[in-house]
Amino acid sequence: MPPYRPSEPYRPSQSYEQAEPYEQAEPYEQAEPYGTPAGGPRRAQTTPSGHSGYGDPFAPNGPYQPLDPAKRGGGYSPYDPALYARPAPAPAPPRRRRPRSFIGVLTVLLAFIIGGIVMAAQARTAAGVSPTIVGGAMLITIGAGLLIAAWWGRGAGLVAAGTFVALLVGTGLMLGGVPSNVGSSEWVPSSVAEASRHFDAGLGDGRLDLSELELEPGSTTTFTASVKAGELVVIVPPTARVEVRASSKVGDITLDQSVQSGVDVRVREVLPPEVRPEGEPATIVLDLRSGLGDIEVRRAA
């Protein structure tokens, strides 16, 4: 093992006062920057609200533009809230429209054609046109069309048409037919030969005056009269025996001082003569009908 070599003796270093001073560094504001961004130094920009923003960006990702707080609903933020908002729901698909159906129109036209045919056929008969039969034929046609249309779910229009025709049929049933006369009518038969005709007041008021009729003693004469809607008054001579057969769907039936009223009123009654004739009294048979109205039988004064 080699022997240790003796070290040099300790020599003290220079004192602080004897050392050379350090160089004075330049102030921070006057110092040269370490590097310059690409495209030159950035330019500070100020937004309309007074906030400082960024100017030209570093290459190559520019250019960016500072956000304008005036266009925002809330406070200023460098981030666009639209990027973090919940996405709008997807629009609902457009409703598919069903193609139009012509079943209802064809059914209504066919119902009117059939109703016209039935009406023309009834006009040639002695009974005349019956709205009940005509409306019934139309209702059957509309009902058949409604069954066909309901299979495809298109029967709403036919329901309205069927309701309208049903109301017409109900009105016809109440009136007992199509009114042939409108207004006030007055008949004064002078002979028994006129008893063969039918006295129809139609829609309005009718007055049948039999007080001047010359009747053979013991004879029987029948008169027929009716009113669809209104009032029918029959005046009979005081010396005649009167047999009344009257009916009213809705209304009153008055015989002298007796009154019966309601719905579907029927009266069969015999009125004896008020004044006894010299011979056997003549008989007058009254067959009276009313749809929506009143019937009155009274003696001549």
pLDDT digits (tens, 9 = 90+) for 42-58: 555 555 555 555 555 55
- Read off the tokens for 205: 């008021």
Handedness of CA 82, 84, 86, 87 (dihedral sign): positive
Banded pLDDT at 287 (limits 50, 70, 90): very high
Decide: helix, strand or coil at residue 219.
coil
C-alpha to C-alpha distance for 158 and 109, rounded to whole angstroms: 11
CB 177 within 8 A of CB 200: no
Structure tokens at 238: 């005081």
Which of 50-54, 89-93, 153-157 holds the top average pLDDT? Answer: 89-93
Does residue 71 register a pLDDT over 80?
no
Number of neighbours of residue 64 by Cβ within 10 angstroms: 12
Quote the tokens at residue 230.
Answer: 């209104």
60-69, 191-200, 222-231: the lowest-pLDDT one: 60-69
Residue owning tokens 């457009």: 94
Residue 246 is predicted with a pLDDT of 92
* Triad 226, 231, 237: Cα angle to 5°: 75
* pLDDT number for residue 77: 58
- What average pLDDT is seen over the chain? 74
What 8-state DSSP symbol labels residue 90? P
Count the neighbouring beta carbons within 10 Å of the beta carbon of residue 4.
6
* pLDDT(129) > 60: yes
Q: What DSSP state is assigned to residue 275?
A: S
Alpha-carbon distance of 175 to 289, in angstroms, equals 10
Most confident among 15-24, 91-100, 142-151, 184-193 (mean pLDDT): 184-193
* Confidence band for 146, pLDDT divided at 50, 70 and 90: confident
Do 37 and 57 touch, CB atoms closer than 8 A? no
pLDDT band (50, 70, 90) for residue 288: very high
- Is it the case that residue 232 has pLDDT exceeding 60? yes
Q: Which residues contact 266 (CB under 8 A, 6 or more apart)?
A: 246, 247
Rg (alpha carbons) of the chain, rounded to whole number: 56
Cα separation of 192 and 222, whole Å?
9
